[in-house]
Structure 1
Amino acid sequence: MSGCVNCKEEASEEAFQGGWFHTGDQGFLDEEGYLTLTRRIKELTNVAGEKVSPLEVDHALLSHKDVAEAVAFASPDELLGEVVAAVVVLHRRNSEPGHDQAAGIHSFLASRLPKEKVPRVIHMEDATPKSATGKI
């Protein structure tokens, strides 16, 4: 237990700045002063009751020596609701991705992440999918 007596108040004061309560959402004010929320800044996936940050999984994937690009995301699951999946792009020297490489990356992650954070499926691709503006 910490020695903080007014923790809720301190947390509220920290989150309430510049006349706004910072919630972890991103948005903008239009010309008429209306707030439009566009996305969550901190995305979390709920896997079997555990909160999983895809960014944490991305970081673990990118720490593998053969991974050039990676993106983790929530994938629907009948039993758990959502599970973690990932798209991985290998460095050019490993240009022929195969099942063995996906299994090796999966084992690598299993030794570094809790079970619920390890992607159930790893899609080996030539490039990460991007929108017209270049966002993953």
Structure 2
Amino acid sequence: MKSADIRPSAADRHVVEGQMTLTVRIIGLGIAAMIVLAIVLGSWRGLVSPLPTREALIVGLTTAEVIFAAALVLLGSIVEGFGYGLSLGTRWPYTRNIVVLMLRGDPEAAHRVLATAVGLTALILAMLHPDYSTLVGLGLIVLTAL
């Protein structure tokens, strides 16, 4: 076997393979359940709220955002703790199929998609209810993403 055959190409040097163990899969299923819970509970709280429509939407989104953020922290611990820290790298052509990777169980892809959901939910909350807490929350999310 030639040494050129076993060396990674220049495009793949940023890739780090994580360990997809049974533990990672079980934790991943628990986090997926948290995300479903966030959507269901946020929707339910918004629908049963006696508040006017806009305020009910804010209540539902806030509930979902809190659970999304907790799931994101747990998912981030898997990404770092099990060696997935740079599995996708930073080259966007490599991550064009990020949703497919997430559905196949890649924790890094799921982390990026969930982080996007957290950021977009915070942006919507800041636009619907621009007070101190929503604007500071959005600012902290932006700082964390940098």
**TM-score w.r.t. structure 1 length?**
0.28
Larger radius of gyration: 1
Query: Which structure carries more helix by proportion?
Result: 2
- Compare relative contact order (CA 8 Å, sep 6+) and give the higher one, 1 or 2: 2
Query: Which structure carries more strand by proportion?
Result: 1
